[in-house]
């Protein structure tokens, strides 16, 4: 249960400490757009790759607002709250997606898609003031299920669930939140 919670926490927030709440007006950027040349599976894969980049960047910059480009407001808020909790503990998460394998993609419904990935991440926690890292974990494997919907011509991630390895070097909750 502890590891499952850590994994969910990591995936819904993956990098650290936040200063501002997500705004309803997400800036337009590199969001994959629906087009006649790409099928739903390809668009979904592009969106998931963009999500992981924005998540990593969000933890790095302590701003999860851009996640709204690819997710629902609720998913972006979950990431924001995780970041805020980490920053209250004077930490930020630093992470890197090293590898992603698209294991299964079901786009049999016109406006919905389910994608299962196997993702390999490196992550650590860094002190906000000194940058000193702790709790570093290399090559951590997550199995992630993404649910996506086409809403008015734009694919959006509506749900994410993840499970990961049971590894002894995972940092404790106290360590993650800067408690002794």
Average pLDDT over residues 153-166: 89
Distance CA 156, CA 35 (A): 14
Confidence of residue 90 (pLDDT cuts 50, 70, 90): confident
**Residue 25, domain member (yes or no):** no
Q: Which of 100, 106, 103 is CA-nearest to residue 48? A: 100
**Residue 180, domain member (yes or no):** no
Pick from 65-69, 108-112, 123-127, 171-175: least confident: 171-175
The 3-state DSSP class for residue 23 equals: coil
**Residue 158, domain member (yes or no):** yes
Q: 101: domain range?
A: 2-17+37-167
Residue at token pair 């860094």: 126
Average pLDDT over residues 75-101: 87
**Residue 178, domain member (yes or no):** no
Q: 12-21, 53-62, 158-167: which has the highest mean pLDDT?
A: 53-62
Residue 44's pLDDT is what?
Answer: 95
Distance of CA 66 to the CA centre of its chain: 12
Q: Give the mean pLDDT of the chain.
A: 77
Confidence of residue 24 (pLDDT cuts 50, 70, 90): very low
Average pLDDT over residues 2-29: 37
Would the pLDDT of 17 be above 70? no
- The CATH number that applies at residue 124 is 3.10.450.240
Residue 117's pLDDT is what?
Answer: 97
Per-residue pLDDT tens over the stretch 56-76: 998 888 888 999 999 999 999
**Residue 147, domain member (yes or no):** yes
Residue 164's pLDDT is what?
Answer: 80
Pick from 5-14, 89-98, 150-159: least confident: 5-14
Residue 37's pLDDT is what?
Answer: 62
The 3-state DSSP class for residue 53 equals: helix
**What's the domain count of the chain?**
1
**Residue 43, domain member (yes or no):** yes
Residue 93's pLDDT is what?
Answer: 87
Per-residue pLDDT tens over the stretch 28-42: 445 555 544 678 899
Distance CA 34, CA 42 (A): 10
Average pLDDT over residues 79-108: 89
**Residue 32, domain member (yes or no):** no
**Residue 31, domain member (yes or no):** no
């Amino acid at each position: 249960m502890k590891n499952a919670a850590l994994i969910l926490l990591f995936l819904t927030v993956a990098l650290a400490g936040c200063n501002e709440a997500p705004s309803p007006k997400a800036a337009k950027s590199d969001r994959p757009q629906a087009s006649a040349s790409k099928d739903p599976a390809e668009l979904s894969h592009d969106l998931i790759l963009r999500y992981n980049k924005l998540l990593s960047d969000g933890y790095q910059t302590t701003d999860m607002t851009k996640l709204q480009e690819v997710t629902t407001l609720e998913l972006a808020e979950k990431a924001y709250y995780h970041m805020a909790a980490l920053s209250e503990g004077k930490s930020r998460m630093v992470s890197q997606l090293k590898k992603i394998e698209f294991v299964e993609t079901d786009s049999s419904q016109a406006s919905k898609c389910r994608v299962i990935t196997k993702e390999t991440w490196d992550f650590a926690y860094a002190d906000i003031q000194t940058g000193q890292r702790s709790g570093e974990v290399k090559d951590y494997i997550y199995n992630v299920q993404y649910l996506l919907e086409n809403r008015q011509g734009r694919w959006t991630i509506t749900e994410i669930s993840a499970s990961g390895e049971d590894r002894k070097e995972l940092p404790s909750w106290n360590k993650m939140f800067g408690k002794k």
